[in-house]
Amino acid sequence: MHLLLVILLFLESQFCVQSSDSNSPAGDNLATNGLPFPWSKVRLPNYIVPVHYHLLIHPNLTTLKFSGSVKIEIDVKNNTNWVVLHSKNLKIFTATVLDEHEAHLSDKVLSVLEYPAHEQIAIFSPKILTSGEKYFLYLEFGAPLSDGFYGFYKSTYKTKAGETRVLASTHFEPTSARMALPCFDEPIFKANYTVRIRRGPSHIALSNMPLEQTVEIGNGLFEDHFEVSVKMSSYLLAFIVCDFRSVSGMTATGINISIYAVPEKWHQTHYALEAALRLLEFYEQYFNILYPLPKMDLIAIPDFQSGAMENWGLTTYRETSLLYDPDISSASDKLWVTLVIGHELAHQWFGNLVTMEWWNDIWLNEGFARYMEFVSLEAVYPELKVDHFLDTCFGAIGRDSLNSSRPISSLAENPTQIKEMFDTVSYDKGACILHMLRNFLTNEGFQSGIIRYLRRFRYSNARNEDLWDSLIKTCSEEDFTAGEYCYSSTQATKNAYRFAGEHIDLKKMMSTWTLQKGIPLVTVRRQGRRLYVGQERFLKIVLPNDPSWNSLQEGYLWHIPLTYKTSHSEHEVKHLLTTKSDVLTLDEEVDWVKLNTDMNGYYIVHYDEEGWNCLTELLRVNHTALSFKDRASLIHNAFQLVTLPTDVSETVYMVGAQDDSGWAYLLEKYGVSMCETEKSKFLSALASSKDSKKLSRLLQLGMGGTVIKTQNLPSLIYMVARNPVGHFLAWDFVKKHWNELVEKFPLGSFGIRSIIVGTVTQFSSTEELREVEVFFKSITEQVSQLRVIQVATENLEKNIMWLKRNLETMRTWLQQRLN
């Protein structure tokens, strides 16, 4: 009750916040032809290692099929007759094993066993493959271009004249390279790639590396040969055949950067080129490692499910994430494009140069890239005023305060579990604990530590603990100028001393943030010069008097880098809280204490009544005594208040969409607009209609995929669901079309997760909760592995509890103000 009144007081004063990896049962481990499959685990064996792929791929944009061949140089670690690798939905025409001179090991046609449950194939060699010898695996294959957004898939766009044109593009992360070619599709199997692509004369082909030569092969076909790639994971391979136009520029270090888009949107590529040039140069300086490829292409794909993908040297984007029309796009559109480019370019080092060993540590890629968005823009584009990093952490806290959250580093074995790892925990919480760590180590200590990390593990793979080890070592400038990394366990951990004046076990500290789920609540009570602090796990929907409270708190302990300011301090004070409770002594009597300076720490603070009263009074008489970030964190800590600013144009569209003619006009404009950011505003306005028939029509158009592209269906469902008229409409639509939706958006994908969360979290009654539980129970077999179901239902329970606690207080407060 007290905290709610604090919030309302702040608002009144116009304060605002600008699989498992288990063996299959022996009887179940059968290939499609009924023979025993030689491998029973989800992960591949480690005794065959790919060294170099020689890939030829030919997409036919008329028949919408592709064919190809791949010759994989392999390194054999143990004697074996079997080669097991990944393949999904591919027809294997030929399989052969060659010796180091590329002579056939067998005169017989080698049989291929398929095990679709694990997306694996196995090739039997009659002659034993000997450890230490060099061999080649040669396969010919083909398949239809995928209808979805993964693997090698078709995309279409319409010209202004109404002509539909087709292109073929790839999206392999996390486990879909196997849909385009047979391969060892796990991040640890890094290899070189030599790519050749066949195409018609009216198209161009792109891949990770620059074009080396083009050969005319007859029948109106050309074959583009690309340079050999650097050593990289399979999910970073990319190739595209399209008829796009580009604009290009060169960095100060000689890297050629090109932005590609459909021809009629070419004029929208120029800002992305400027941003990419400046941001790539920034990263080369910040990481003290030159970008290792000769070129960097950024291409806007008309059909794209996620925001973007960091394929090394050929990054792919949704059009709204790359294209900027200065005549139409808004300031927030410009900021979004810049952030996404900053994210994908950061991946060229974090993720591409150094890759996580397995998907349980995907946050090493995504958390870093998300955080570097803000670091890079703060340095390169200060005029864009990127001040919403707090919102990133607010979002992470919202997820992490539910029991259905997960540790940053979590078990993920099969493709569905792996796809679910690409969530707010990996991206946003990962970014927030890195921000806390940077504040802990100082900017200079953090930067030099990650340079060591990148230098030590470049072209290789790393785990959580490798990052902590790199961050606590120290290097001299000579080590860097000599091009070496520094990694000596005998050197002092100087970075730790800077924080608390004592030796800190950084690995032990950070394990409390990455290996256990949740977020700590720090309690504060001031008595004279003594500050009594404690920590417990913060949970939104469980109170201390709940029977499950103790069990949900048991075993949780964080090493929390506390920071605080007082009415009498000129600088923040630091203390590492490693126990359940502690007592700090202030230098003098003070009027107030504010913990978590600028919300640099990933924890929530709860003051006693006197502490809240003192801060409330401070805000009343002199709110500038606290920084904007401190004021924002106070409001958030009191009530998880997040603002959602909207462009004026979107507001105007929403007003216009409320009558029949305005709605019809916006739908017509949506169909012909060539600016994707403008189209997203049109769609949001169309979904704000109070006419349920219009909302139903929108959902049907989204399902059709012609007027409204399939890639936009998840966001459309969410837009309709957040409209009070559309709550039940969207939910009923999802229930009715569930099987079709899962065909379009695989289980675990961002699309299906946003559909579930976007509809379920709009509800706030026990009756609605029961209905949701009944539906998901009816499809248990499909969704039993999905963590997002628990996330969504727990959010619904949170809504119910919030109303129960606060509705009457809010109603009374509003009535008093209105009267």
Amino acid 359: pLDDT? 96
pLDDT tens per residue, range 397-410: 989 999 999 999 99
pLDDT band at 396 (very low <50, low <70, confident <90, very high): very high
* One-character DSSP codes across 233-246: -GGG--EEEE--EE
The one-character DSSP state at 263 is: G
Amino acid 786: pLDDT? 86
**Residues annotated in the binding site for Zn(2+), as ranges?**
343, 347, 366
**Residues annotated in the binding site, as ranges?**
343, 347, 366
User: Poorest-confidence range of 179-183, 749-753, 781-785?
Assistant: 781-785
Amino acid 18: pLDDT? 33
Contact 270, 333 (CB under 8 A): no
pLDDT tens per residue, range 164-211: 999 999 999 999 999 999 999 999 999 999 999 999 999 999 999 999
pLDDT band at 642 (very low <50, low <70, confident <90, very high): very low
pLDDT of 486 > 50? The answer is: no
Distance between CA atoms of residues 71 and 736, nearest Å: 46
Residues in the chain: 819
CB-count burial class (<10 Å; 0-12, 13-18, 19+) for 202 = exposed
Amino acid 367: pLDDT? 96
Task: List the beta bridge partners of residue 73.
Answer: 52, 136
How far, rounded to the nearest angstrom, does the alpha carbon of residue 787 sit from its chain's CA centroid? 16
Distance between CA atoms of residues 815 and 661, nearest Å: 37
Distance between CA atoms of residues 739 and 382, nearest Å: 46
- Give me the percent of the chain exceeding a pLDDT of 90: 68
User: What is the tally of helices (H) and strands (E) in the chain?
Assistant: 27, 28
pLDDT tens per residue, range 496-538: 434 444 567 888 999 999 999 999 999 999 999 999 999 999 9
Q: Which residues are catalytic?
A: 344
DSSP helix/strand/coil, 265: helix
Give me the mean pLDDT over the 476-481 stretch.
49
In 3D space, the residue among 189, 174, 191 whose CA is nearest the CA of residue 53 turns out to be 191
How is residue 377 written in tokens? 């823009």
CA distance readout (Å), 670 to 172, 192, 631, 692: 30, 44, 40, 19
How is residue 244 written in tokens? 């796009």
Contact 321, 340 (CB under 8 A): yes
Amino acid 548: pLDDT? 86
Distance between CA atoms of residues 746 and 174, nearest Å: 12
pLDDT tens per residue, range 687-697: 999 999 999 99
Amino acid 780: pLDDT? 87
- Give me the percent of the chain exceeding a pLDDT of 70: 91
pLDDT tens per residue, range 30-47: 999 999 999 999 999 999
Contact 382, 438 (CB under 8 A): no
Distance between CA atoms of residues 160 and 233, nearest Å: 39
More confident residue, 376 or 815: 376
Distance between CA atoms of residues 784 and 747, nearest Å: 10
How is residue 498 written in tokens? 């800077």
The one-character DSSP state at 484 is: -
pLDDT tens per residue, range 659-675: 888 888 889 888 888 88
Distance between CA atoms of residues 797 and 805, nearest Å: 12
Exposure letters 513-549 (e unless 16+ CB within 10 A, then b): bbebbbbbbbbbbbeeeebebbbbbbbbbbeeeeeee
The one-character DSSP state at 426 is: I
Its pTM stands at: 0.85
User: Poorest-confidence range of 435-444, 649-658, 729-738?
Assistant: 649-658
